[in-house]
Each structure stands twice: as C-alpha cells, then as structure tokens.
Amino acid sequence: MKKNQPKMLRRKTLGDTLFPYLLITPYFILLAIFTFYPVVNCIWLTFHATNQIGQAGAWTGLRFWKRVVQKSEFSQAILTTFKYGGLLGVGTFSLAMLLSYLSVKQVKGSKVYQTLFSLPMAMATVPVAAIYSFVFDRYGIVNRIFGTTRFWLADTSVRFWIIVLVTIWCNCGSSFLYLLVGFRAVPEELIESADLDGAGPFKKFFNVYVPIASPQIFFVVFLNILSAFKSFTMIKILVGTEDSEVCNLMCKLYYYAFVKERYETGCIYALVLSVLIFLVSRIQFFFEKKVVIYA
C-alpha cells in the first residue's frame, strides 16, 4: 500500500517543495546554534588561552590539557565520578526494584504508597537538599534520633555517603515508575500459572517479572548511571564545589568555568565528562541488543 500510492493529483508547486524545509528551519537553526556550534567551540577553546569573556586568545596547543591531566584533582574527580556512577546506579536501581515490586499489585489503597514512592521525582532538588541539610544538621533529626551532636555535612568521612543516600532518595521516584510500568505489564495468566505451580515471591520475581520487564530494567540501570555521572546540584548545595573528595567532573566544570572564569580548563573537564557519558551510552546501545528480551 505504502509503495504504490496514487500519484499526486495536482502538480507539485514551489510552495510544496519548500514547505518541508519551512517547517524544519526553526528546529535546525536552534540545533546549529545551541548544540553543534558549542561542541566545536568547546574543543576549539581547549587549545587556547581564553580571556575573561571567553574569547580564544593565543594558540597554546596541548599545554592546558597537560596541566589539567597532571593534577591529582583531575584523577580524583574522575574516580569520584565513577564512584557516584556505580553507587548511585546500583543503589537507586535496587531501591526502585524493591519498591516497585512491593507496589505491583493494584488494590484499594495502593495508590497511596505508589504516590508517596514516586513523589520525590516531582520535588525540586534544592528544596529537598535544604530539608536534608536540616535532617543532617547539628540540631537536626539524625542527631536527635541517635542522641549525637555531630556536624555530618562537615565530616569528610561520611558526607560522600550522605550525598549518595540523598541522591538515591531523590532519583528513585522516576525509576520506580518506569519499573512499575514494566512489572504491571506482566500478563495476569502468567502470574496465576506461576502461583499454581507453587512459585514463591522470589522465584516469581526472578523468573516471571524480571524477564518480562527487562526493557524497563535495562533502561533504568543506564538512566541512573548516566544521571549519576551528571550529579551536581546535590553536591553543590550540601557541600559545595571547592576542591574536595565529593567533587566530580561536573563540579570541576562549574568551578573552573563559572567561578574562576578559566573557560579553557572548564572546557577540558566538560569534554572529558562528555566523552565518558558518550561511551557509557554507547555501551548501553551495544548491550541492549544482547540482554533485553523484547516480547
């Protein structure tokens, strides 16, 4: 049908020829200015000394690259980025799996906990960070519960883990909903027959739910790893972007480009981070074909 369509009834006018281009012009103009040009410019700037307004000055070749890469804060930032990626990826995914398996049955009252589990996704990060900075405050809830008087967010041995925990809490909502959609797509007959065969909740989970929800599970795992690579707001609000053990590449990008106005250094961090993100998303595409079972 598609192939032998009836011929156009009237002749193509100039307007007909131009019409598609007219529709896509705004899109591609913006794409050129705000996506393609910045990529080129970002690479270009790393080979120059930039001035205060971000214009490329003298050609410096790889000098800034060498300077950045040799610093210990660079490898520290990469390590921290991967630590966030791994911990937030695994942590958010596990919590979301647990909560969505708990909520998979639709019964009277299930909407209540379903809403509460997913609500963090609608909450802006900064107010949430504010509330958690109270929770972990000197006069906060955690100290009250444990009867301690610690400054949790100033303590270099635990604050990384606090950021991880709070971010897991924050990001869990959307993963929860994605997984819930996946789990609820499991046909009723399958669950019933598994029940008849005497499968317990664990067996049912691993042998019925997980394979059928595998597209969502796969998507959620990488969604969390990728968003963990970009985590920034929580770190900045809870601790700050000055050089410390909690700073990832995103913090360095912000610190050098927008606090210090060293744009070429900022661009180097931006490029490194983007290449990492790009590689992870390529891995995602590569494995998607092998791991995911599409019904």
Partner 1 sequence: MSNREKHYLTTHQKERIAVWVKILIAIVFFSPILLGLVCSFVPDEYLLIFPTVKTIVSNLTVKNYVKVWNGFPVFTYNKNSLIMCFMVIVMQIGIGALAAYPFAYLDFKAKNLLFTLVLIAMMIPGQVVYITNFLTMRKFGLLNTYLGMTLPSFVSGRTLFLFRQSYKGIPREMKEAAMVDGCKELRYLVQFALPLSLPSAASLAIMIFIGEYNAYLWPLLIARSSKMYTVQIGMEQMINPDAMPTNGRMLAAAMMSLVMPMIIFIFGQDYILRGMLRGGVKG
Tell whether residue 125 is a contact of partner 1 (CB under 8 A).
yes
- C-alpha dist (Å) from residue 188 to 174, 183, 262: 24, 11, 59
**Cα-Cα end-to-end distance for the chain:** 27
Binding test (CB under 8 A) with partner 1, winner from 2, 3, 7, 290: 2
Tell whether residue 30 is a contact of partner 1 (CB under 8 A).
yes
Tell me which stretch binds partner 1 (CB under 8 A): 76-84, 154-162, 173-181, 199-207.
173-181
# residues contacting partner 1 (CB under 8 A): 94
Query: Three-state DSSP class for 49?
Result: strand
Q: Are 46 and 271 in contact (CB under 8 A)?
A: yes
Tell whether residue 281 is a contact of partner 1 (CB under 8 A).
yes
Tell me which stretch binds partner 1 (CB under 8 A): 57-65, 79-87, 202-210, 229-237.
229-237
Tell me the closest approach of the beta carbon of residue 116 to partner 1, in angstroms: 4
Tell whether residue 287 is a contact of partner 1 (CB under 8 A).
no
Tokens of 235: 């770190």
**Phi, psi for 96 (deg, rounded to 5):** -65, -40
Measured distance CA(187)–CA(184) in Å, rounded:
8
What is the residue type of 272?
A: V
Binding test (CB under 8 A) with partner 1, winner from 92, 103, 167, 171: 103
Measured distance CA(22)–CA(6) in Å, rounded:
25
Measured distance CA(83)–CA(77) in Å, rounded:
10
Binding test (CB under 8 A) with partner 1, winner from 57, 61, 86, 127: 127
What is the residue type of 157?
A: S
| Contact code string over 234-273 relative to partner 1, x by CB under 8 A | ---x------------x--xx--xx----x--xx--xx-x
Binding test (CB under 8 A) with partner 1, winner from 60, 76, 233, 284: 233
Nearer to partner 1, 62 or 123 (CB): 123
Tell whether residue 216 is a contact of partner 1 (CB under 8 A).
yes
